[in-house]
Structures are given as structure tokens and as C-alpha cells.
């Protein structure tokens, strides 16, 4: 099989990453995609009698997949908390797949084990931690899950053997934190009621006085507070919880302090932005996704713990077939530090991208994104077609499109809110049909659906902001019609 032939369309995609004329998506329905693949002789369905495809058909399948998938490399793709994959990271993923191994043991992954340790060591140094342990996990949700499990076992080590006994352990997180915290308390058998959501300010940042009150109220109910999740870079508003104040409270009340920096910890690369992470040196654990701001491909999620020995005590089972203590360099085996068995070598692409760009390159990526967000917010604030939904923060800009007959919008009323809320999905649908820009929408704190620009891709320029706002305005008019 001529592999070069199959790789060609993938390399073409990477070479034309910033092609602004390419459609981002057309959000065809399932039937349209299935018809298109079937017409190419490569139906999406699988059946027992299917003949193996030849090279030409496989190439058509790859080309169709590229043409019909969402183009997250496009400079006007603002839809998720990742964008603009670095081609070096893409090649790192390719290399990792070709060497197809598991990071569970040094024996099976000597170079990758060392790369993982190098990346984690430098991340921990950037956080100002004198000691650390950690590993890459399949996403920030798992980092948060691991943190909660470590914190639970710290206050109730017997839970490992005995299980949760129904004691009212309580974790705190902000109302704007990632939903994985809600999923995690359920999975861990602590129950949804074990998670208290604390109020935020208008930037989506936890109010420390609200946390203090929530802890006191929990204690007054006879519960046992054990954990606080501080979000560094909330998903929707880009808020950074005030880490020093939260660290003070965690210390005072003997809580595990986890910083979910999945989105925002990369601020530490930028001299201008690192202040947002002030206080992270006092965290017990840290989630840091290199696949969000830094352009490393899905997934590349570092989970770090400050106190060494914690992970092994929580997760190790010492499977004899894998972690033979008498084989060479068994002390470097990472598999028993986590829940997973086989682990992808996500550290490789992080390491390769880091080597290719340097910390200055990462910093430039962050600074570019923040500068563009600031520009977009200023631009929107001065444009009567739109209304900012929240003060800008980090790389997030949330705003409404205002229908022409409501401009300039003097005050939001329940009627206006209902209009804005109902318009968002229709505007989005029009935008997806057009395929020239893509951004998401959601309600904030019970308000009407607003749009959210996320600046992450280094190829995005100021003109793209203008173009996207014009596209949004046109889609709004289309949705009204």
C-alpha cells in the first residue's frame, strides 16, 4: 500500500492551515454525509460482506473526511477552547501512533517516559513548585477526578479498602467551573450533593467571601469540607479564581486545593499574563491542558501533584504482569500512578512542540490571543450591532447580537432577553450553513444565550474579528427574516 499517497491530503491540509477561503463546516445532516460517502464508493456503514478498499478508495475516504469535517485550523474557528493545532504537534501524534506503545512502563516507553518527566518538571517549575509528581491523562476531566480522589483519600484513607461510608464530605467549586466536577463527585460515589457551587463575580471568578460563607455553612451543617477547586480560566468567561484568597481559606480549613488550569494555566508562559496564576505555588494539585491554548492536539492534559508519593498511594495495585519490581528501571514506571493501564504517549507531542517553539513561542501565542480578545472586546463595545455580555477576560469575549430594530439597546428587558435567547440557535444555524466563521453560544447565569469568541489560533488576525462580526450580523438578519 502506498502510504505516501494516503498521507498527501493530510499534509496538504496542514500546509493550507490558514486558508481563509476554505469552508469551516456546512453542518450537513447525517443523511447528506452518508450519501456523499456512498457516492464515493466508501459508505460510512460497515457490513460483513464489505470488500477491502483499494488505495484510490481509501484516498477518497480521507479526502472526504477532510472536506466534510469541521476545519478547526481555520483562523475564524472560535467554537471551542482549542483551535489552530500546531503542525509539529500533529506530526508528534503521527510519530506516537507509528511507534504505538504505552506509557505505563519505562520498559515499553523509555524515551517517552523521559519526555513526560521533562515536560512535567518544567510545568511544575513554571508553577513555582519545589517538588512534584504527575502524568498525562486523557483530558482535564480526569485531572479533576484524580484530584478529588486524592483529596478524599487524604481525609479518609480507609475509603480505599472500605469504600465511602456516607460521611458528608463536601467539595467546593465555583458556579462557573467545568462540569467535570459534577460528573466526578457522582463517579466517585460522593454524590452530586457533595459538591457545593460557590457564587462568582461578573467575570466568572469565585468570590472568596462566598466560599468562606459556604465553608462555614457546611461546617454548621455538620459536614466535612475537604476540597476546593479553583478554576484558572473558566470555560465560558475565562475567569480566574483568586488563588491567594482561596489558598488562605484552604489552609485555614484544611482543604485540598486543586487548581483546574486546564484552560488558563498556560498564562504562566507569558510575562504579561502570569499574574493571573499567582498563588498556584500553594496548590496541592494542578490540571494543565496543553491542547487548549498551546495548539498541541487532542489530548494533552498534564495532571500535577505537589506532594510526591501521593499518586502511588492512591492508585497502585502492583499488577504482577506489568510492574515487575525486579526488572531494570522499574522505579520509572508511571502506570501505577493513575487509574489507566495503557496510556498514549501524549507527552511526545508536547515535548516536540515545545522544542520547536520554545517558551518564547508559547508566550507569543498567549500574548497574541489575549491581545486579539482585548481588541475584539473594544471593537464590540463600540459597535451598536452588538452588546458585551460580560467584561472581557483572558481570551473569551461574550456578547449578543442586537436586532436592528432594537439598536442601540438602552436596557435589557424580559422581552428583549427572550428575543436574544431564541435568536442565538437560529443565527448559529445560519452561520454553520455559511461556513465562513464558527463560534458557540450559551446562557450565562440564567441570562439569554450569548455568543462566545475564543481567541486561541495564532493565525487569527484583526481582520478576522471584523469579518466574523460582519458575518454574525448578516446571519442575524438572515435569522430574523
Residue from the set 40, 56, 97, 131 that interacts with a copy of itself by CB under 8 A: 97
CB atoms within 10 A of CB 70: 17
- When the beta carbons of 252 and 339 are compared against a copy of itself, the nearer one is 339
381 binds a copy of itself (CB under 8 A): no
Whole-angstrom distance, CA of residue 234 vs CA of residue 129: 23
Whole-angstrom distance, CA of residue 236 vs CA of residue 469: 19
Residue from the set 74, 134, 135, 149 that interacts with a copy of itself by CB under 8 A: 149
**Number of residues engaging a copy of itself in binding (CB under 8 A):** 150
* Alpha helices, DSSP H, located in 221-261: 243-253
Residue from the set 74, 76, 88, 171 that interacts with a copy of itself by CB under 8 A: 88
337 binds a copy of itself (CB under 8 A): no
334 binds a copy of itself (CB under 8 A): no
> Where in 152-181 is the site for a copy of itself (CB under 8 A)?
152, 159-166, 178-180
Nearest to 429 by CA among 464, 478, 380: 478
70 binds a copy of itself (CB under 8 A): yes
CB atoms within 10 A of CB 87: 17
- Alpha-carbon 68 to chain mean position: 24
Decide if 277 contacts 261 (C-beta within 8 A): yes
436 binds a copy of itself (CB under 8 A): no
Whole-angstrom distance, CA of residue 50 vs CA of residue 203: 54
**Shortest spacing between CB 231 and a copy of itself, in angstroms:** 13
326 binds a copy of itself (CB under 8 A): yes
> Where in 4-63 is the site for a copy of itself (CB under 8 A)?
4, 6-7, 10-11, 13-15, 25, 27-30, 33-34, 42, 44-48, 50-53, 57-58, 61-62
DSSP letter string, 24-77: S-----HHHHHHHHHHTT--SS--TTPPPP-HHHHHHHHHHHHHHS--TTSTTE
Residue from the set 239, 264, 392, 440 that interacts with a copy of itself by CB under 8 A: 440
222 binds a copy of itself (CB under 8 A): no
Q: What are the phi and psi torsion angles at 301 (to 5°)?
A: -115, 110
Residue from the set 244, 339, 384, 462 that interacts with a copy of itself by CB under 8 A: 339
- When the beta carbons of 34 and 473 are compared against a copy of itself, the nearer one is 34
Q: How far is CA 296 from CA 24, 75, 102, 304, 437, in A?
A: 20, 16, 19, 18, 22
348 binds a copy of itself (CB under 8 A): yes
Which among 81-89, 274-282, 374-382, 401-409 is the span making contact with a copy of itself, rule CB under 8 A?
81-89
Whole-angstrom distance, CA of residue 285 vs CA of residue 258: 5
Residue from the set 132, 207, 282, 357 that interacts with a copy of itself by CB under 8 A: 357
Whole-angstrom distance, CA of residue 18 vs CA of residue 319: 47
413 binds a copy of itself (CB under 8 A): no
**Shortest spacing between CB 334 and a copy of itself, in angstroms:** 13
Site map (CB under 8 A) of a copy of itself, residues 445-464, x = contact = ----x--x------------
Nearest to 432 by CA among 10, 84, 71: 71
Residue from the set 66, 155, 274, 313 that interacts with a copy of itself by CB under 8 A: 66
Place of cell 489552609: 251
> Where in 177-206 is the site for a copy of itself (CB under 8 A)?
178-180, 182-194
Q: What are the phi and psi torsion angles at 237 (to 5°)?
A: -100, -10
Which among 203-211, 220-228, 279-287, 322-330 is the span making contact with a copy of itself, rule CB under 8 A?
322-330
342 binds a copy of itself (CB under 8 A): yes
CB atoms within 10 A of CB 118: 15
Whole-angstrom distance, CA of residue 476 vs CA of residue 3: 45
Residue from the set 18, 20, 121, 412 that interacts with a copy of itself by CB under 8 A: 121
**Shortest spacing between CB 162 and a copy of itself, in angstroms:** 5
Whole-angstrom distance, CA of residue 355 vs CA of residue 253: 41
**Shortest spacing between CB 449 and a copy of itself, in angstroms:** 8
**Shortest spacing between CB 280 and a copy of itself, in angstroms:** 17
Decide if 72 contacts 82 (C-beta within 8 A): yes
> Where in 297-316 is the site for a copy of itself (CB under 8 A)?
297-299, 315
221 binds a copy of itself (CB under 8 A): no
Decide if 237 contacts 393 (C-beta within 8 A): yes
Q: What are the phi and psi torsion angles at 308 (to 5°)?
A: -70, 150
Residue from the set 74, 76, 78, 109 that interacts with a copy of itself by CB under 8 A: 109
Amino acid at each position: 500500500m502506498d502510504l505516501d499517497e494516503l498521507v498527501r491530503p493530510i499534509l496538504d491540509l496542514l500546509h493550507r492551515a490558514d486558508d481563509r477561503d476554505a469552508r469551516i463546516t456546512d453542518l450537513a445532516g447525517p443523511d447528506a454525509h452518508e450519501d456523499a460517502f456512498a457516492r464515493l464508493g466508501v459508505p460510512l456503514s460497515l457490513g460483513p460482506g464489505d470488500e477491502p478498499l483499494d488505495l484510490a478508495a481509501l484516498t477518497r475516504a480521507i479526502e472526504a473526511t477532510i472536506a466534510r469535517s469541521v476545519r478547526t485550523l481555520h483562523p475564524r474557528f472560535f467554537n471551542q477552547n482549542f483551535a489552530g493545532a500546531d503542525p509539529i504537534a500533529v506530526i508528534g501524534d503521527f510519530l506516537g501512533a507509528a511507534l504505538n506503545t504505552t506509557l505505563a512502563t519505562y520498559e515499553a516507553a523509555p524515551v517517552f517516559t523521559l519526555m513526560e518527566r521533562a515536560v512535567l518538571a518544567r510545568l511544575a517549575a513554571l508553577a513555582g513548585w519545589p517538588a512534584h509528581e504527575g502524568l498525562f491523562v486523557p483530558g482535564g476531566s480526569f485531572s479533576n477526578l484524580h484530584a478529588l480522589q486524592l483529596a478524599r483519600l487524604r481525609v479518609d484513607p480507609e475509603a480505599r479498602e472500605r469504600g465511602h461510608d456516607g460521611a458528608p464530605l463536601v467539595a467546593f467549586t465555583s458556579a462557573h467551573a467545568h462540569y467535570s466536577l459534577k460528573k466526578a463527585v457522582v463517579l466517585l460515589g460522593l454524590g452530586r450533593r457533595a459538591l457545593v457551587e460557590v457564587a462568582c463575580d461578573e467575570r466568572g471568578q469565585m468570590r472568596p467571601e462566598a466560599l468562606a460563607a459556604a465553608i462555614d455553612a457546611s461546617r454548621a451543617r455538620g459536614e466535612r469540607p475537604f476540597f476546593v477547586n479553583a478554576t484558572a480560566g473558566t470555560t465560558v468567561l475565562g475567569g480566574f479564581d483568586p488563588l491567594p484568597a482561596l489558598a488562605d481559606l484552604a489552609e485555614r480549613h484544611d482543604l485540598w486545593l486543586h487548581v483546574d488550569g486546564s484552560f488558563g494555566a498556560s498564562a504562566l508562559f507569558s510575562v504579561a499574563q502570569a499574574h493571573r496564576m499567582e498563588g498556584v505555588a500553594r496548590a496541592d494539585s494542578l490540571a494543565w491542558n496543553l491542547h487548549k491554548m498551546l495548539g498541541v492536539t487532542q489530548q494533552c492534559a498534564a495532571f500535577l501533584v505537589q506532594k510526591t508519593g501521593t499518586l502511588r498511594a492512591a492508585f497502585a495495585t502492583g499488577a504482577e504482569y506489568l510492574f515487575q519490581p525486579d526488572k531494570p528501571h522499574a522505579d520509572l514506571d508511571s502506570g501505577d500512578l493513575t487509574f489507566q493501564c495503557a496510556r498514549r504517549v501524549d507527552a511526545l507531542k508536547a515535548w516536540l512542540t515545545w522544542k520547536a517553539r520554545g517558551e518564547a513561542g508559547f508566550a507569543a501565542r498567549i500574548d497574541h490571543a489575549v491581545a486579539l480578545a482585548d481588541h475584539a472586546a473594544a471593537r464590540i463595545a463600540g459597535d451598536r450591532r452588538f452588546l458585551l455580555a460580560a467584561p472581557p477576560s483572558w481570551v473569551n469575549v461574550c456578547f449578543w447580537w442586537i436586532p436592528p430594530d432594537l439598536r442601540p439597546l438602552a436596557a435589557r428587558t424580559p422581552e428583549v432577553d427572550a428575543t436574544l435567547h431564541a435568536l442565538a440557535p437560529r443565527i448559529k444555524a445560519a452561520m454553520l450553513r455559511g461556513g465562513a466563521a464558527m463560534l458557540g453560544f450559551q446562557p450565562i447565569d440564567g441570562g439569554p444565550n450569548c455568543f462566545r469568541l475564543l481567541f486561541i489560533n495564532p493565525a487569527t488576525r484583526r481582520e478576522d474579528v471584523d469579518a466574523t462580526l460582519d458575518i454574525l450580523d448578516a446571519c442575524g438578519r438572515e435569522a430574523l427574516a
